[in-house]
Structure 1
Amino acid sequence: RGAARAGRRPLLGGPGRPPADAPPADAPPVDRAELVHALVRRAGGALLVVDLHGADETAVLDRPVLAEVAHRLRSGCGPHDLVARLTDTEFAVLTDLGPVLAYALGTRLVAALAEPYPRPGGVSRVRASVGLAETTGGEPEDVLRQADLARRRAVQLGRDRVEWYDAYLEEQLVRRLDLERELPGAVARGELDLVYQPVLALADRLPVGTEALLRWRSPALGTVLPEELLPVAADLDLLGEIGRWVLDRACRQLAGWSEGGRELWMAVNVTPRELAAPDFVARTATALAAYDVPPERLVVEVAEPSVAAELSTVVARLAGLRSLGVRTALDDFRAEHASLAQLRRLPIDLLKVGPHLVGPGADGQRPLIDVVANLGDRLGLEVVVEGLESDAQVAGARRAGCRYGQGFALARPAPAERVEAWFEEFPSTPR
């Protein structure tokens, strides 16, 4: 037993003399070809792909910094681990450690690479994203591809982290790459579309407005919904272009419905990043004027969970919109302590909440929707309950005193033509 322990190599370069075939601590990284050759010979273990990013605009990934990166990687690895250079800012580590220890190694390398890099006149800081893939039974190029896909996932999730490859991850990342390839030019190609979900007065179930919902009708990818589309648009800096198209199309549609004698409102969703644009208020005024739409007929919605990081900017832009006469709404209100604290600061007219607030409260207490409706009344806000999918939810929202509702139980989203046909079932009275 003691002899077996003595013959076992240190897992992470611990004390003891390194094996005779181990590279010296200051050995330069091998190239990709040598790494592939080593992958062929490995029966098991893991491959870590390390992607480097400057921590800020002042960070410099020059030769001295990259040399120190290679040294830290070599120092943090075991004597049999192989360090390779893939590109200017990508390294790889091939280890025969099992999954748990390989993940721990990746975590330690991320921490080691985050330490400051002394430079003349200051320091540089580096962030690292690490992708991990098991090497067992895989062709070298497949293992490299899998580790690189995991590396991309680490970058998307915020960097300074380690991510493992799995088949679902590959499916998601391939989908993401397809979206990134196809989305640029979608506006110019006429692939974007809006559907409209009516908002009804709960007292008499008559329509008072609609919410414009974005759809991307991609010939290659099919219909893509906002929750998948918008994060890609943000990363590609396309939110402004898409947001301008949505606002223009919504105002044009609202003007068309007004000609038919229906005084409905139109709600459009915007992100804090869109609101932060210096010309957002002026651009909104231009769109309203272009189609002769009364400002009070437009509602600009921003989601509550995304507001906190840009609160001061959001407050300023919403105030600017209200000065035009545009109404504003806080969507997806969570009714949590932080939500309540910032609610008084936001210049809004409508408060939109989900159906989860309609159900019975904990320990037999009254439903949260009663509290929110009471709060809205005190602050002069109209409450809209969205996502209503049953008559019981509709009844609960109305019983709490909420004035408006939307959801499948009331009306489904549909193209403009179908919504217009649905409107014909109701009298054209001002709401």
Structure 2
Amino acid sequence: MALPEQGGDVEVARKRFELPPDVRHQRDADLDAALLHTVLDALPSPTVLLDPDGIIAMTNRVWVTSGEEHGTIIPPGADYYAAATAVHGDAEGHALVRSLRTLARGECDAVAVDREVPSPSDEKPRWYHVQASRVGIYGHVVVTHTDVTARVLAERTSLWRARHDHLTGLPNRAHLHELIDEELGRGDQAPVAVLFLDVDGFKDVNDSLGHDVGDDLLRQLAARLAECTRAGDTVGRLGGDEFVVIGRDCDEDGALALAQRFHDSFDRPFDLAGRTARLTASIGVATTDGSGTCVRSTDLVRDADLAMYAAKAAGRNRVEVFTPDLRTAAEQRATLAGELLLAIERDELVLHYQPVMGLPSRRCTGVEALVRWQHPERGLLYPGDFLPTARQHDLMTPLARWVLREATRQTAAWRDAGLVLVTGVNINATHFTSGTLVDDVMGALADAGLDACQLVVELTETSVADDPERAAAQFAELRTRGVEVSIDDFGSGFSSIGQLVNMPAGVLKIDRSLVAFTEGRRRQTAAAIAAVVALGQACGIRSLAEGVETAEQLDLAESLGCSFAQGYHIARPMPAGELPSWIAAHPPATIPVALV
């Protein structure tokens, strides 16, 4: 059809093809709605368009399919605000609705929250990240719902694992402190008790039956402790065989009653890989005093721990309540440990030497080096005054290294002065297990210029029993290099004949508890010593009787075949400078009957 060429005719033609305003407005609205619907359908998450009053004006396909899948279809025309309140409950639902109304009024730019949506069936709830934006100027809001269930569950699992012991499922150290601080911060001054429980002999279970059985024992312990607690109490595991119980609204009497229930639960034997085992526990108790004084969780746990160690020291299988004296003693030990470390560095330690007599010559053949501490303020301290602190603060190995260096140096000085002796040095189990024993011994000998045959390394029977294979390997290497090895305090513990037979030692020191005998027990004592001497001889090991206090004990040791003896009847330990004059009064053999 040809259009007219005149301008007026063109305007007439244009008007003929132009839509009426109402029709054109409807067309534009339809196009906008179709475009918006297309955009919503392109979104991967369930999405709705709300009018200013919270009525659902439009949904996308994912909203419909998700609703069908979970049985929660909410169609266009429904009140989203009412549905949100019904799904999330009053608190969460009203909070979400308030946020969306604020957004619709243009009083904020966006809304973004995570919401839990319970399932209408028995399925687990799901979590959605709800994100809303305002559209246009009339208060319409687009709300998307992104399923973040996997993320939330992963976060919660990670958080749970970070706060719980993986083996027993109990709260771990960090979470226990959180729970205790939470109780202490309630402000109602209700008493809080902390019970610190340690299993007596747990290490023996691990060593004899293996760590898998030990783990099973820990799970059994966790279950038993949980059975004994009251509603509202919490059982947690600090680590190893140490458990902590939080007693809420629990005073000292209540805590002691709770501890007694724990002890009673140990009366039942444990089933360990088909074996029946009976165990005990040492328990420490600490409570708040209700005075409102600021207390931290670390304070309560520390105090309960100190009380537990007091129970151990008192004989195990006991309950001890914390007292300020325990804290004072702990502070003193910590101070003493720091001073002892400096004492090692400053050479404040000294060695006293106790003569060892060869039998039957009854002449001094060697000495045992015994450490003392010349404290600048407290005077001369004996081992019982500082060795427990050294053990507790891991100072036994540096202490033993100092003793090795000083003893070998002094023995070399005596040799240079014409006095040839064999010196025994005690080694603690921690040094023995460190793996540096052989290197430390040989280094001390080299620095002093002393022959290996003039040194005896002494380890207690219990130290050897802790790890006999490692002991045997290090003993063998020391003897190969010319250093003699002695097993000290034999007979003071549960001596293992099998271990003795396989142990490459040259001297067996019979503990003073066997050597000493009361009136009327001489025959039994003689039989015990004779058995040990015979056992040693069968293994190629010579015997030394310790703690000889009387002439009768010395005669008995000699008559039963002991090779050596030492004790106060022979001589007390003495400073190095006094030893030559003592030996001058007891002339040594021209060729010493050495311990090697």
The two structures have a TM-score, normalised by structure 2, of 0.52
- 2:277 counterpart of 1:132: no
**What CA deviation, in whole Å up to 9, does each residue of 1:66-90 have, x standing for no partner?**
xxx9xx99x94467x999xxxxx99
Aligned counterparts of 1:29 and 1:161: Cα–Cα separation in 2 = 29
Alignment of 1:263-412 (within 5 A): 263-334=420-491, 338-358=495-515, 359=517, 365=524, 366-412=526-572
Q: Could you say which residue in structure 2 is the equivalent of 1:62?
A: none
> Quick one: which of 357, 360, 375 aligns to 1:218?
375
1:344 is paired with a residue of what secondary structure? helix
1:151 alignment partner, SS class: helix
Rounded Cα–Cα distance in structure 1 between residues aligned with 2:295 and 2:439: 51
Tell which deviates more after alignment, 397-406 or 226-235: 226-235
Alignment of 1:86-235 (within 5 A): 93=247, 95=249, 99=253, 101-106=254-259, 130-132=284-286, 135=289, 148-154=302-308, 157=312, 163-166=320-323, 169=326, 172-235=329-392
Q: 1:389/1:94 Cα in 2 relative to 1: closer, same or farther (>3 Å)?
A: farther
Match for 1:421: what amino acid? S
Partner of 2:419: 262
Q: Distance in 2 between matches of 1:143 and 1:408?
A: 51
How far does residue 328 in structure 1 lie from its aligned partner after superposition? 0.4
CA distance in 2, matches of 1:32, 1:183: 39
Indicate if the aligned counterparts of 1:272 and 1:314 stay in contact, CA closer than 8 A. no
Any idea what the Cα deviations from partners look like across 1:360-402, whole Å, max 9, x if unmatched?
8979555311111222222221111111111121121112111
CA distance in 2, matches of 1:49, 1:220: 38
Q: Which residue of 1 aligns with 2:587?
A: 427
Which residue matches 1:30?
183
How far the C-alpha of 1:185 sits from its partner, in A, is 2.0
Which residue of structure 1 lines up, in the alignment, with residue 273 of structure 2? none
Q: Is the partner of 1:367 in helix, strand or coil?
A: helix
Q: Residues 238 and 380 of structure 1: is their aligned pair in 2 closer, same or farther, counting only changes over 3 Å?
A: same
Amino acid at match of 2:585: E
Name the aligned partner's letter for residue 357 of structure 1: L
Would the alpha carbon gap of residues 34 and 337 (structure 1) be closer, same or farther in structure 2, given more than 3 Å must change? closer
SS at match of 1:305: helix
Q: Could you list the per-position Cα deviations for residues 48-74 of structure 1 after superposition, in whole angstroms to 9, with x for gaps in the alignment?
A: 235699x9xxxxxxxxxxxxx9xx99x
The CA deviation string for residues 156-196 of structure 1, in whole angstroms up to 9 with x for no partner, is: 85999963235774564354333234223221122211111
Greater helix content? 2
Aligned amino acid, residue 330 of structure 1: I
Q: Which residue of 2 aligns with 1:9?
A: none
Q: What is the rounded CA distance, in whole Å, between the counterparts of 1:266 and 1:28 in structure 2?
A: 55
Letter of the structure 1 residue corresponding to residue 435 of structure 2: P
Q: Give the superposed CA RMSD.
A: 4.3
**What is the match of residue 23 of structure 1?**
none
Q: 1:33: how far off? A: 8.2
Are the aligned partners of 2:554 and 2:565 in contact in 1 as well (CA < 8 Å)? yes
Change (3 A) 1:171 1:198: farther
Partner of 2:398: 241
Q: CA–CA distance in 1 between the matches of 2:325 and 2:579?
A: 38
SS in 2 for 1:34: coil
Asked if 2 retains the 8 angstrom alpha-carbon contact of 1:129 and 1:161, the reply is: yes
Contact 2:475 2:504 in 1 (8 A): yes
CA shift, 1:248, in A, is: 0.5
SS at match of 1:185: helix
Q: Which digits, 9 at most, give the CA deviation of each residue in 1:196-254, with x for residues without a partner?
A: 11101242331100000111222345444334533432333322321211101000000
Q: How does 1:53-64 map to 2 (within 5 A)?
A: none
Range that drifts further, 353-362 or 396-405: 353-362
The answer as to whether partners of 2:284 and 2:319 remain within 8 angstroms in 1 is yes
Amino acid at match of 2:591: P
1:348 is aligned with what amino acid?
A
In the alignment, the residues of structure 2 paired with residue 105 and residue 295 of structure 1 have an alpha-carbon distance, to the nearest angstrom, of 58
1:417 counterpart residue number: 577
Task: Give the superposition deviation at 1:288.
Answer: 1.2
Q: Distance in 2 between matches of 1:200 and 1:349?
A: 17
Compare relative contact order (CA 8 Å, sep 6+) and give the higher one, 1 or 2. Answer: 1
The aligned amino acid for 1:239 is M
Gaps of 5+ in 1: 1-25, 40-46, 56-68, 84-88, 113-127
The 3-state SS of whatever aligns with 2:489 is strand
SS of 1:424 mapped into structure 2: helix
Query: Which residue identity does 1:34 align to in structure 2?
Result: G
Give the whole-Å Cα distance in 1 for the aligned partners of 2:195 and 2:548.
46
The structure that has the greater radius of gyration is 2
Q: How far, CA to CA, are the matches of 2:360 and 2:484 in structure 1?
A: 22
How far apart are 1:108 and its partner, in Å? 6.5
Count of residue correspondences: 359
- For 1:27 and 1:400, how far apart are their aligned partners in 2? 62
- In 2, the alpha carbon distance for the partners of 1:391 and 1:204 equals 15
Post-superposition Cα deviations, 1:279-304, rounded to whole Å, max 9, x if no partner, equal: 32123222212222111110000000
Displacement of 1:265 after TM fit? 0.3
- Give the match's secondary structure for 2:369: strand
| Percent identity of paired positions between Structure 1 and Structure 2 | 31
Distance 1:203 1:291 in 2: 31
CA distance in 1, matches of 2:493, 2:388: 25
Corresponding residue SS for 2:473: helix
Query: Deviations along 1:86-138, whole A, 9 cap, x unmatched?
Result: xxx99964645563x522424768999xxxxxxxxxxxxxxx975335959x9
Q: Which amino acid aligns with 1:232?
A: T
